[in-house]
Structure 1
Amino acid sequence: MKNFLIPTTLEPDTINAVKSAINQAKNTNCEIILMMISDTPDTFSSAQFLHEMRTALTASQEEVLETCHYMIEHTANCKLKIHNQFGISASVFKGIINAFDIKLVVLTHSYKEENKRIHQYLVRLTGNQKCPILHLGTEVNKEDFNKALYIENAGTNIDVKDVQQFLSANFSFEIVSQTVNFDDDYERFAPYLSEAVLKYEIDLLVETRKIEKIKFKKVKTHSINEKSGLPVLSIYEELV
C-alpha cells in the first residue's frame, strides 16, 4: 500500500495534489492523508482550549474538501483521511510519517507560500524526513508526470543510474536528461532549461537532498521549483 501525506490549508491546488497522489498510486491500494495543522491554543482554561480548537472551515475550503471526497469516492483503490494536528515538532512529525507509513509527501505551491510560522516550520521539517517529497509546480492542471530531468548536486557521488533505479522501483518517472545544479545562477541557465524541457518534453525535475539545520531567514529564498514553475521530486540521498 502506498500512503501519501498532503499538508494543506484547503486551497484549490489541494485538489491537484490529491489527483497527483491518485496517479502515483497506479491502481494499488493507497490512503491519502490531508493534514491540517494549527498552533496549540495558549490558555490554561480547558473550556477555552477546546473552544479555540474548533476551527470552522470557510465556504471555499468546504468546497475543496467536498471535491477531494468526491474524487476518492470514485477511485476504488484509494481512501481519504483527514488529520488535524495541533502543534508540531521534529519528533512528532517523524512519528506521523511512521504511524501513517508515508511513502510520499506532496507539497503544493500555496502551502509553501503560507505566512504562518507553523506552516513554514512544517515545510522545513518535511525536508529533513527520509521519504521523498513531490513539490508541485504552478501549473494546476498537471498532475501526472513521465519524463524527468535529473539535477546533480555538487559534491555528491550519486550516479544517475542509481537515481533511475530508485525511481523505477517506486515511481513511473524516466530520466531523459541530466544537468549540474544551477540554482545559484538560475537566470543564466534558465534558457538552457527551457530548451531541454521543450526538446525532451520534460515535465518533472528530480533532485537529491541532505538533512539541513532549520533556519528562518528574513529574506525568503526561492527554490528551483518556485523559479521554474516545474514540479520537483526531492529524494533523500541515503535512499538512493
Structure 2
Amino acid sequence: MKNFLIPTTLEQDTISAVKSAVNQAKNTNCEIILMMVSDTPDTFSSSQFLREMKTSLTTSQEEVLETCRYIISHTDNCKIKVHNQYGLSAPIFKGIIDAFAVKLVILTHSYKQETKRIHQYAVKLAGNQKCPILHLGAESLKNDFNKALYIENAKANMHVKDVQQFLSKNFSYEIVSQTANFDDNYEQFAPYLSEAISKYDIDLLVETRKGEKIKFKKTKKESSTDKLGLPVLSLYEELA
C-alpha cells in the first residue's frame, strides 16, 4: 500500500495534489491523508480548549474537500482521510509519517506560501523527514510525470545510477538528463535548462536534500527550481 500525506489549508491546488496522488498510486491500494494543522489552544479551561479545537471550514474550503472526496469516490483503489493536527513538533511529525505509513509527502504551492508560523513549520519539518517530497509547481500541470531532469548536488556524493535505481523501485520516473546544481548562477544556466526541458519533454525535476536546522526567515527566497515552474521530487540522501 502506498499512502500519501498532503498538508493543506484546502486551497484549490489541493485538488491537483489529490489527483497527483491517485496517479502515483498506479492502481495499487492507497490512502490519502489531508493534514490540517493548527496551533494548540492556549487555555487552562478544558471546556474552552474543546470549543477552540472545533474546526469550521469556509464555503470554499468545503467545496474543495467535497471535490477531493468526489474524486476518491470514483477511484476504487484509494481512500481519503482528514487528519486534524493540533500542535506540531519533529517527533509528532515523524509519528504521523510512521502511523499512516506515508510513502510520499505532497506539498502544494499555496501551502508553502502560507504565512502562519505553524504551516511554515510543517513545511520545514517535512524537509527533515526521510520520506520523499513532491513539490507541486504554481501552475496547474499534468498530474502524472514520466521524464525527469536530475539536479546533481556536488556535495552529496551521489551517483545518478543510485537515484535512478530508487526511482525505478518506488516510482515510474526515468531520468533522461542531468545537470549540476545551478542555484548560484541560474541566469547563466537558464537558456540551457529550457532547451533540455523542451528537447527531452521533461516534466519533473529530481533533487536530493539533507536535514537542516530549522530557521524562520522574514523574507522567502525563491529557489531556482521554483523559477522553472516544474514539479520537484526531493529525495532524502540516505534513501537514494
TM range, normalised to the smaller chain?
A: over 0.9
Specify the alignment match of 2:189 in structure 1. Answer: 189
Distance 2:225 2:68 in 1: 24
1:25-36 correspondence runs (5 A): 25-36=25-36
Specify the alignment match of 2:176 in structure 1. Answer: 176
Specify the alignment match of 1:161 in structure 2. Answer: 161
Distance 1:184 1:120 in 2: 24
**Counterpart contact for 1:154–1:180, Cα < 8 Å:** yes
Specify the alignment match of 1:152 in structure 2. Answer: 152
Specify the alignment match of 2:202 in structure 1. Answer: 202
Specify the alignment match of 1:86 in structure 2. Answer: 86
TM-score, normalization: structure 1?
A: 0.98
Deviations 1:156-203 (A, max 9, x none): 221111111100000000000000000222222222111111010000
> What's the Cα RMSD here?
0.9
Distance 2:154 2:193 in 1: 18
For the pair 1:105 / 2:105, whether they are aligned, the reply is: yes
Secondary structure at 1:201 match in 2: coil
Secondary structure at 2:155 match in 1: coil
Deviations 1:104-156 (A, max 9, x none): 00000000000000000000000000010000012214211010000001222
Bigger shift: residues 183-192 or 199-208: 183-192
Secondary structure at 2:169 match in 1: helix
Distance 1:48 1:202 in 2: 52
TM-score, normalization: structure 2?
A: 0.98
AA of the residue aligned to 2:122 = L
Bigger shift: residues 48-57 or 6-15: 48-57
Specify the alignment match of 1:123 in structure 2. Answer: 123
Specify the alignment match of 2:65 in structure 1. Answer: 65
Q: Give the fraction of aligned pairs with identical amino acids, expressed as a percent.
A: 77
Distance 2:52 2:188 in 1: 49
Bigger shift: residues 138-147 or 126-135: 138-147
Specify the alignment match of 2:43 in structure 1. Answer: 43
Distance 2:65 2:155 in 1: 43
Distance 1:220 1:58 in 2: 27
Secondary structure at 2:114 match in 1: coil
Specify the alignment match of 1:233 in structure 2. Answer: 233
Distance 1:204 1:30 in 2: 22
Displacement after TM superposition at 1:50 (Å)? 1.1
Runs of 4+ in 1 over 4 A off after TM superposition: none
Secondary structure at 1:148 match in 2: strand
Secondary structure at 2:230 match in 1: coil
* Corresponding residue pairs, total: 240
Distance 2:62 2:233 in 1: 29
Runs of 5+ consecutive residues of structure 1 not aligned to the other structure: none
**Counterpart contact for 1:152–1:179, Cα < 8 Å:** yes
AA of the residue aligned to 2:226 = E
Distance 2:223 2:42 in 1: 34
Bigger shift: residues 35-44 or 153-162: 153-162
